[in-house]
Amino acid sequence: MPKVMAESLIFAVAESLISKLASRAVEQASLALGVYQELQQMKKTMALIKAFLLDAEQKKEKNNALSEWLRQIRLVFAHAEDIVDNFECEVLRKHVVRTHGSFSRKVCRLFSTSNPLVYRYRMGREINDIKKQLEKVAADGHMFGLQSSDKDTKVLHAREMTHSHVNVSNVVGREHDKQKIIELLLQDDHRDRSLSVISIVGFGGLGKTTLAKVVFNDTKVEEFFTLKMWVCVSNDFELRNVLIKILNSAPSATNEKFKNLETDQLQIRLRNTLQREKFLLVLDDVWNENRVKWDALKEIIDMVGNRGSKILVTTRSHSIDAMMRTKSSNSYTLKGLSEEDSLSLFVKSAFDDGEGKKHPELMEIGRQIVRKCGGIPLAVRTLGSSLFSRVDRKEWESIRDNEIWNLKQNENDILPALELSYDQLPSHLKRCFACFSLASKDFDVSSSYVALLWEALGFLPPPKENETTHDVANEYLRELWSRSFLTDFLDMGSTCRFKLHDLVRELAVYVAKGEFQILYPHSTTISEHAQHLSFIENDMLGQDLVPMGLRTIIFPMEATNGAFLNTLVFRCKYLRVLDLSYSEYESLPSYIGKLKHLRYLSLSGNKKLKGLPDSVCKLQNLQTLDLRGCIQLQKLPKGIRKLISLRRLLVTTMQPDFPDKEISKLASIETLELYSCDNLESLFQAIQPRSLKFLHLSGCGGLRSLSFHVITNLESLVIFKCSKMELSMGLSNLNSIPDSRLKLLVLQSLPQLVTLPEWLQGSVNTLHSLLVVDCNNLEELPEWLSTLTCLKLLIIEHCPRLISLPETTHLLRNLEHLEINDCPELCRRCQPGVGLDWHKISHIKQVIIGEPEE
């Protein structure tokens, strides 16, 4: 396989850059600075090069010279993008000057416009340099005999959504494996109380986790075990962390803060939890080969539960299986799917139900593709999904006959199949997918963070009218899910959560190589042209090794190296993303205000941070400022109204006089999240933040009032641990409920909540997801709940006084996902087939009901 893959991202860069050059902002700035003609010529040359990029990307595998040509283009385009962004910065600066008055001389020097003639000369020279480089690579491109293709013909295909919990009907060819595992789990040797470990062993992509989920949710298994727990272990087998994960997975663990307990206390708590239980503990994706660590865990849980207790392990390693065995253990080696089962799964992924039979020629080509996948479900599913709704025979044949199958591979290597699926992505999705190379393993990923990253790096197009960048990002994520790149996908309307399979993440690392890089402990080199870096640990590299053209820097947790931070801020002037989450800095350098390209700045979890320099307010491009968990932050910097591009503000602050008037004037602000702002008593009184779409209030113990006019334009509202807040919003005595636009409402840890607030009826035509969690005094759900005709997801957890569902619940015909947990009487009444309220919810596709307490 080729050593560098980042060249496959260039077409999307070209499209984005040409679009920027055609924008009104850049046009105005270039006219004012006298470089309009030069930029127009640059745009024409770029368009000429872009026309040949798609063909070049397809042919680069066979031609090293072509790969080098693409690499040169990537470097020139990156430099050009920085210059274009300079113009956009200048437009924003002038807007702030017009709106809020002139800057001081110091600020003028910051933007290099104190002498317009010098600025114009410098920009003109840089543009001419870029022009010459573009003309050279354009001339060099003629030697490759490339075909012109100005438009990426790969399109998005919509597909019906499912839920994160495994759908048994989508699991193909594993019934025999399932029954064998269940037989092993249900063995009950009355003579032996020692711990029994059952291992599912097989290489990546075979579906070990999916099989374990199917078994975990089987009715026989449910009836046999009195306690079931699921833990994704992965690389982290430190005893304390594993104990916390196990305890958190137990049904009795609601809202417990196990992280505050010592290891000895955790051991005692776990043994008490398992005592007198016939338990099933799933340890998914185990990589630990250290016997000492395994023995330490085994010693705690051995001989504690009732006879018949089991541990079910999934692992790629036979040596790990051997290490974890006890005298009553068994292992099950998972094999690949048969050709017929593989074809069945492929057809399910490539066609809607019954459509495959209409295309016998494609079915035969599909069979030939399937044979190359080696029976690996992940490979079969991703390739099938990449061909979903495509009926052009040539497209199918291009997958079957691609030369990547002939490249030397390791045994059971599925990267070729996954890469072919990646090649079928539209260009704009390829860049977005490459960002996943910076993701940590086995973590739930939130669409919020992904959207912020994509937006800050310029990977998203401008949203349409009545649409946010978050909506665009969610659309992209749904498309990646439909092509089987994402797993455990939970769509909550305005947001979603998902996971990445290890092999999909490896694919992201592979295709992003050279541009995106994670620096592990003791890394000694950074790719010469890296643009996006993530540091795993606090052993930072020397300043001379850090490329000046970096766009992204993600610092490690607990970073303390102030000198290194100062060097980066001073050296990397083109940064778009600076993530300093959970570092331990007390302050930031004042010249952070010079990072005029910065779009995303996160200082969340910096518990020692006491203040921000006012120069932060000079970052006119800043779209996201994240200050969550900065518990010593005295106040926000002065002049926050000058952050005219700010769309998201996430804050923990000690100040009682929150600058909501300034914030409400920010025309771009979409999201406001306040965490543990205990001195805050009121918010937006007599102020209408018209652009605000997402409001999250968490742990604001002193907050008493929020006027309903704030809610009317919101799409998402979260209220968590605001115990003094008046939830009626002043609408308790109104005859009619004003309309609102909520899609997502979360009410959590609110002891004052007895029934749902009346104002929620204003969102009958929009509400998609409703989550009510840990509301101990909630006594009823109102009959008008059934009027929420768009409701698709309803989650109710730990509301012990709620004993029944409204009689009209069956009228919620669009409700697809219902979860009820830790509501003893309600869980009893909703038990499938036998509960008194089951008839009200039996029509719902996905129903998850917790065990009623004995």
Q: Which residue has the higher pLDDT, 425 or 614?
A: 614
Convert the pLDDT of each residue in 444-483 to its tens digit.
788 888 889 999 999 998 888 878 888 899 999 988 887 7
SS3 of residue 57 by DSSP: helix
Taking 60 as the threshold, does the pLDDT of residue 359 lie above it? yes
Burial class (CB within 10 angstroms; exposed 0-12, middle 13-18, buried 19+) of 529: middle
Spatial contact of 840 and 847, defined as CB atoms under 8 Å apart? no
Q: What is the mean pLDDT of the chain?
A: 84
Taking 70 as the threshold, does the pLDDT of residue 550 lie above it? yes
Quote the strand ranges of 592-645, DSSP E.
600-602, 624-627
Spatial contact of 274 and 227, defined as CB atoms under 8 Å apart? yes
Distances (CA, A) of 747 to 352, 609, 777: 38, 30, 12
Q: What is the mean pLDDT of residues 636-652?
A: 91
Backbone angles phi, psi at 293, to 5 degrees: -65, -40
Spatial contact of 677 and 652, defined as CB atoms under 8 Å apart? yes
Amino acid at 242: V
Please report the pLDDT score of residue 161 as a whole number: 39
* Portion of the chain with pLDDT greater than 70, in percent: 89
Token pair belonging to 505: 């993440």
Rounded-to-integer distance, Cα 384 and Cα 381, Å: 5
Token pair belonging to 752: 């004052």
Backbone angles phi, psi at 632, to 5 degrees: -105, 5
Convert the pLDDT of each residue in 253-268 to its tens digit.
655 678 788 899 999 9
Please report the pLDDT score of residue 307 as a whole number: 86
Taking 80 as the threshold, does the pLDDT of residue 164 lie above it? no
Convert the pLDDT of each residue in 1-14 to its tens digit.
333 445 567 888 88
Rounded-to-integer distance, Cα 583 and Cα 559, Å: 5
Convert the pLDDT of each residue in 30-83 to its tens digit.
887 778 888 888 888 888 888 888 778 777 766 778 888 888 888 888 888 888
Residues 6+ apart with CB under 8 A from 170: 162, 348
Residue 541: pLDDT band by 50, 70, 90 thresholds?
Answer: low
Distances (CA, A) of 665 to 93, 593, 639, 710, 713: 17, 21, 12, 14, 15
Taking 70 as the threshold, does the pLDDT of residue 140 lie above it? yes
The three-state (H, E, C) secondary structure of 333-377, written as one string? ECCCCCHHHHHHHHHHHHCCCCCHHHCHHHHHHHHHHHHCCCCCH
Distance linking the first and last C-alpha atoms of the chain: 58
Q: Which residue has the higher pLDDT, 490 or 433?
A: 433
Rounded-to-integer distance, Cα 806 and Cα 823, Å: 15
Rounded-to-integer distance, Cα 182 and Cα 328, Å: 15
Please report the pLDDT score of residue 313 as a whole number: 94
Token pair belonging to 533: 């870096």
Q: What is the mean pLDDT of residues 390-397?
A: 88
Residue with tokens 């994160």: 164
